[in-house]
Structure 1
Amino acid sequence: MIKNKKYLIVSGVILIICMSLYFPYPNNRIIFNRVTFMSFPISDQDGYNLLAIIGSFLFIFAMILLVKGMSSYHVRTVIIVLFAYTLLPLGLVAVYQETVAEGIAAISYDGEGTCDFERVSEDELNGECQLLITNHSGDPVTFEIEFLDPYIPDKAYRLTSLMNEGGPYQITVEADREKMVEVKELLDISDFPNHGDGGGSTNVHFKISDGERERVL
């Protein structure tokens, strides 16, 4: 089954390096991506990402070495490695947050939050956001939320980040609890010419901070 151990070892080392390049903790580093290959944001709001392109080639090279290192079960091995490569970082983050993480380091987010905006008048919007946030630590955690806009070709356009005009929002999540955070605001948008007039956002991203530390989720 094993044809060349050296190939397998080198393949494993390269895969670990690739995984570390865009490890999904403490920050979500691909929220502004346009084109993604595995965990690599090939293109984002700033254009093509050289590090991600290099990482993609390294990943492909590692998979070639993996196949060359096996004498049989090539397809099965590749599928198993792909699943492990995708799930292992999430598993490591979960173990860390459930054991030793404290403060905002112990906060997780399901990534499926929504924000809805309804036009009240020419200069006002009703904004409402819902975010499912979990505190994995044994102590209550308090932090502030700053909403982030997703990638939009016209960088001056604002929608989700308009919620920050009603902030700052201070949130407390009790120990070992999952909390549906609801934020509602009547927003004055008279000073923002490039804004949405209504609608909604899904898979909302935001920044949390506790004074000295911050994370992007």
Structure 2
Amino acid sequence: MVISLWYNKENRMEGIDSMHSRNRLIAAVSLIILTLVLSWTYPDATPLGEQWLTAVGLPTWSNGHSGINYFSILLLLIAFTGLFLLRSSLYKHPRIIVLAAIIALLWLPANLVIGYQTVFAKGIYTLEYDKQGSSCSFKREEQWLNGSCTLTFINHGQSVDFSVMIRKEPFPNNAFLEQLDVLGDQTLHMAAHNKSSITVTFKKWVGDVETPFSGSMSGFDITVKNEVAQRHL
């Protein structure tokens, strides 16, 4: 009888542990999926979660659009919590499965976007903007600003025509390039399934005598648009 009671107690404990593990696994998968959803950056470059926080009036940066990114910290906390719960809910091969989850978090979003752009997207929605491969430079001659911008894109779909506008300049000293709209009046073309750097020249009148005589910038955000749509990249 004592053995029977001990056996039943062990079975109950195993059942409770199994239920707790299952609950942790469900919570872990939910948090990992939530991380993927919140970090989604298509069709615009701003993550979906950051857009939601802004929509409800919550700040995402400590200093406007710079400083500490509260959203990134929140996203990391959600991801780490999900991975921790995943690790604690597994009895077999926990390290391998957690490593696979980390790889999925890093690899899956970008490749899902590329897959969608290649198969389903049309128009400007097929474009991928290479921010690090893009730059602008200029020189001032009297009251005229002469320069060029090299913009790098990857087109995952059919050929497309579009225009580009500098959206948000991270370097305040060159903010006047955004104000002058140096790119917005020119139509660009990308061939189908192609990566290309497009050089756009500009010449603009500047009335501000404090405008620098020369300069350059890179890593800037842009707005891509055509007759029917626009995207913030």
What is the CA-CA distance between 1:171 and the residue it aligns to?
1.1
**Among 178, 181, 186, the residue aligned to 1:161:** 178
Give the alignment of 1:60-99 within 5 angstroms. Answer: 60-71=80-91, 73-99=93-119
**Among 34, 38, 41, the residue aligned to 1:21:** 38
What is the CA-CA distance between 1:133 and the residue it aligns to?
1.5
**Among 184, 203, 206, the residue aligned to 2:222:** 206
Q: CA offsets per residue over residues 110-163 of structure 1, 9 Å max, x none?
A: 22233232323353332211122222223x2111111133334x5x86155256
What is the CA-CA distance between 1:200 and the residue it aligns to?
1.9
Distance 1:72 1:150, change over 3 A: farther
Larger radius of gyration: 2
**What amino acid sits opposite 2:39 in the alignment?**
Y
Determine if the alignment matches structure 1 residue 141 to structure 2 residue 157: no
What is the CA-CA distance between 1:166 and the residue it aligns to?
5.5
Between the aligned residues of both structures, percent identity stands at: 21
Contact between 2:135 and 2:216, CA under 8 Å: does it hold in 1?
Answer: yes
Distance 1:151 1:117, change over 3 A: closer
TM-score, normalization by structure 2: 0.72
Contact between 1:109 and 1:132, CA under 8 Å: does it hold in 2?
Answer: yes
Aligned-residue RMSD, C-alpha: 3.0
**What amino acid sits opposite 2:152 in the alignment?**
L
In 1: Cα distance, 2:88 partner to 2:71 partner: 26
Contact between 1:8 and 1:65, CA under 8 Å: does it hold in 2?
Answer: yes
What is the CA-CA distance between 1:72 and the residue it aligns to?
5.8
Unaligned runs of 5+ in 2: 1-17, 51-59
**What amino acid sits opposite 2:170 in the alignment?**
Y
Determine if the alignment matches structure 1 residue 105 to structure 2 residue 125: yes
In 2: Cα distance, 1:89 partner to 1:68 partner: 25
In 1: Cα distance, 2:168 partner to 2:212 partner: 12
Contact between 1:115 and 1:201, CA under 8 Å: does it hold in 2?
Answer: yes
What is the CA-CA distance between 1:164 and the residue it aligns to?
1.6
Higher RCO, Cα 8 Å, sep 6+: 1
Determine if the alignment matches structure 1 residue 215 to structure 2 residue 222: no
